[in-house]
Amino acid sequence: MARKPDRIRIEVFGPASEAETAEEAFRPSNEAILSIARLIGRQIAREQFERARAMERKQARQNRSGHMR
Protein backbone atom coordinates (compact mmCIF):
# COMPACT_ATOMS: atom_id res chain seq x y z
CA MET A 1 0.00 0.00 0.00
CA ALA A 2 1.36 3.42 -0.96
CA ARG A 3 2.11 5.87 1.82
CA LYS A 4 -0.04 8.99 1.79
CA PRO A 5 1.91 12.27 1.74
CA ASP A 6 1.91 14.43 4.85
CA ARG A 7 -0.88 16.93 4.85
CA ILE A 8 -0.99 20.37 6.36
CA ARG A 9 -4.18 21.00 8.29
CA ILE A 10 -5.65 24.48 8.26
CA GLU A 11 -7.90 25.26 11.19
CA VAL A 12 -10.27 28.20 11.46
CA PHE A 13 -10.41 29.91 14.84
CA GLY A 14 -12.96 32.30 16.24
CA PRO A 15 -12.08 35.78 17.51
CA ALA A 16 -9.24 35.81 20.01
CA SER A 17 -10.08 36.45 23.63
CA GLU A 18 -8.51 39.45 25.30
CA ALA A 19 -6.45 37.19 27.54
CA GLU A 20 -4.73 35.67 24.53
CA THR A 21 -1.34 37.17 23.72
CA ALA A 22 -0.25 38.10 20.22
CA GLU A 23 2.19 35.18 20.20
CA GLU A 24 -0.59 32.71 21.01
CA ALA A 25 -2.84 34.28 18.37
CA PHE A 26 -0.25 33.78 15.61
CA ARG A 27 0.98 30.34 16.70
CA PRO A 28 -1.17 28.35 14.19
CA SER A 29 0.01 30.49 11.26
CA ASN A 30 3.62 30.32 12.47
CA GLU A 31 3.40 26.54 12.60
CA ALA A 32 2.01 26.45 9.06
CA ILE A 33 4.77 28.75 7.82
CA LEU A 34 7.42 26.59 9.49
CA SER A 35 5.91 23.46 7.93
CA ILE A 36 5.99 25.02 4.48
CA ALA A 37 9.55 26.27 4.98
CA ARG A 38 10.61 22.79 6.09
CA LEU A 39 9.05 21.24 2.97
CA ILE A 40 10.76 23.78 0.72
CA GLY A 41 14.10 23.21 2.46
CA ARG A 42 13.81 19.45 2.00
CA GLN A 43 13.01 19.90 -1.69
CA ILE A 44 16.03 22.18 -2.18
CA ALA A 45 18.25 19.67 -0.38
CA ARG A 46 16.93 16.83 -2.57
CA GLU A 47 17.62 18.82 -5.73
CA GLN A 48 21.15 19.72 -4.61
CA PHE A 49 21.84 16.09 -3.73
CA GLU A 50 20.58 14.91 -7.12
CA ARG A 51 22.76 17.48 -8.93
CA ALA A 52 25.81 16.40 -6.92
CA ARG A 53 25.16 12.73 -7.69
CA ALA A 54 24.74 13.53 -11.40
CA MET A 55 28.08 15.37 -11.40
CA GLU A 56 29.76 12.41 -9.67
CA ARG A 57 28.34 10.00 -12.27
CA LYS A 58 29.45 12.31 -15.09
CA GLN A 59 32.99 12.49 -13.66
CA ALA A 60 33.08 8.71 -13.25
CA ARG A 61 32.01 8.21 -16.89
CA GLN A 62 34.62 10.70 -18.09
CA ASN A 63 37.33 9.01 -16.02
CA ARG A 64 36.42 5.57 -17.37
CA SER A 65 36.34 6.74 -20.98
CA GLY A 66 39.61 8.69 -20.56
CA HIS A 67 41.57 5.58 -19.50
CA MET A 68 40.52 3.58 -22.59
CA ARG A 69 42.07 5.91 -25.17
User: DSSP letter string over 18-68?
Assistant: TTS-HHHHHHHHHHHHHHHHHHHHHHHHHHHHHHHHHHHHHHHHHHHHHHT
Most confident of 2-16, 17-31, 37-51: 37-51
State the Cα–Cα distance between residues 10 and 19, nearest whole angstrom: 23
Q: What is the mean pLDDT of residues 6-13?
A: 75
State the Cα–Cα distance between residues 25 and 16, nearest whole angstrom: 7
pLDDT band with cut points at 50, 70 and 90 for residue 1: low
pTM score: 0.53
Among 10, 8, 53, 68, which residue's Cα sits nearest to residue 35?
8
